[in-house]
Amino acid sequence: MVKYVIKRILLSVFILFGVSVILYFLVRLMPVSYIENQYYASHPNVGSDEDLRRVLELYGLHDNSFLGICKGYLKWLFAFVQGDMGKSFKYNMQVEDIIFKNMGISFAISLVSMILQLIIAIPLGIKCAVNQYGKLDYTATVLSMIGMSFPTFFFASLVIKVFAVELGWFETGGLVTATMPVDATWWQRTTDVLWHLVLPMVVLVILSIGGMMRYTRTNTLEVLNADYIRTARAKGLSESKVIYKHVFRNTLIPLVTTLAGTIPGLFGGAMITETVFAIPGIGQIAYAALREGDIPFVMGYNMFIAMLTVLGILLADVMYAVVDPRVKLGK
């Protein structure tokens, strides 16, 4: 186990190195740059290419040749391995400070949404598999496919239109009601924030529940056709005991491993959902930085997501051996 984990960690370092190289070259070749945008915004009628070049030179972005980008990457990499993700052009703060300061609300939304998704999707998937080709199975399958087919921005806009604009049950964006009194109590502020998070969480749950439900249904059908399930039934066990003691436990084995893959989503934020609902989470901040070409933040944020992804894959491999004793990790 220890030897396997060490080998995977070394492989993960190599993967992250490759990801960082690709990311840096792509970011440097972006057609938009925050420095250039700000320069032209402040010099609409004056200025020259030489003036802009001097400004870019101050930030080490003046040379976009292959060697120039390589030099810039090595400089960035040396700082990154020392724990310095750079300073954001747009937010004028260290990238790591921006991430850890704003990912709390994103983590809370994603965590609650994931819990609700599991509570609904797993029992529903098992129920559909047990009643294969029944009314519930067909209905849940159709609804899940519809939910999976909706683009996030479209469904979020539809939810806002119905429940916020037409019915007036919710406000259209932010985390705090505009008319919240200054002397509001802690309980009033907390409930107000939670009320603002209802629609974003509904969107996240509905759009993601279909995939988990179908995955659970497929795994359950495989387990139901296993020989030991036929043996359990032949021994005279009740159907409820067969389902909840044997089928359910073995269905969870692949599901548990998939949970490790949700780590990037928990900490990285829901970029589209947060942008549509104007939630000041890390997803919305990352979208704004990407749109304006904030190179240090885009690099730092994407490397943060890449590290979480690699960590999630490693945990998934280890968890599979933990929950299923039949699986042996490489020695």
The residue among 18, 49, 80 that closes a domain is: 80
Q: What is the pLDDT of residue 19?
A: 92
In a domain, 86, yes or no: no
Q: What are phi and psi of 176, to 5 degrees?
A: -130, 140
Degrees to nearest 5, angle at CA 145 with 141 and 150: 155
Residue 307 sits in the same domain as residue 191: yes
**Whose structure tokens read 């040749």?**
65
Give bridge partners of residue 94 from the DSSP assignment: 87
Q: In this structure, are residues 140 and 230 in contact, taking their beta carbons and an 8 Å threshold?
A: no
Query: For residue 212, how many C-alpha atoms fall within 13 Å in the half-sphere facing its CB?
Result: 26
d(CA 181, CA 171): 16
Which residues of the chain register pLDDT less than 70? 1, 41, 43-49, 257, 260-261, 321-331
**Total tally of structural domains belonging to the chain:** 2
Alpha-carbon span 49 to 53, nearest angstrom: 6
- pTM of the model as a whole: 0.81
Are 99 and 74 within one domain?
A: no
Same domain, 100 and 74: no
Same domain (yes/no): 61, 100: no
Are 67 and 106 contained in the same domain? no
Domain that holds residue 141: 95-323
Residues 186 and 38 reside in one and the same domain:
no
pLDDT at residue 323 in the model? 67
In a domain, 85, yes or no: no
- Determine the pLDDT at residue 1: 67
In this structure, the answer to whether residues 186 and 300 fall within a common structural domain is: yes
- Does any domain span residue 89? no
User: Which amino acid, residue 287?
Assistant: Y
| Residue 236 maps to a domain | yes
pLDDT in the model for residue 60: 76
Reduced to 3 states (helix: H, G, I; strand: E, B; else coil), residue 326 is coil
Helix (H) or strand (E) holding 192: helix 186-196
Same domain, 50 and 112: no
Q: Has residue 106 been placed in a domain?
A: yes
Q: DSSP character for 247?
A: I
Whether residues 107 and 194 share a domain: the answer is yes
87 found inside a domain:
no
* 293 lies in some domain: yes
Q: How far apart are CA 209 and CA 152, in angstroms?
A: 13
Q: Specify the 3-state DSSP secondary structure of 200.
A: helix
Q: Are 90 and 301 in contact (CB under 8 A)?
A: no
Is 144 in the same domain as 63? Answer: no
Residues 76 and 220 in one domain: no
CB atoms within 10 A of CB 250: 19
67 and 198 together in one domain: no
Pair 202, 112: CB distance under 8 Å: no
- The answer to the question of residue 329 being in a domain is no
Look up the CATH number of the domain holding residue 168: 1.10.3720.10
pLDDT in the model for residue 18: 93
pLDDT of residue 21: 93
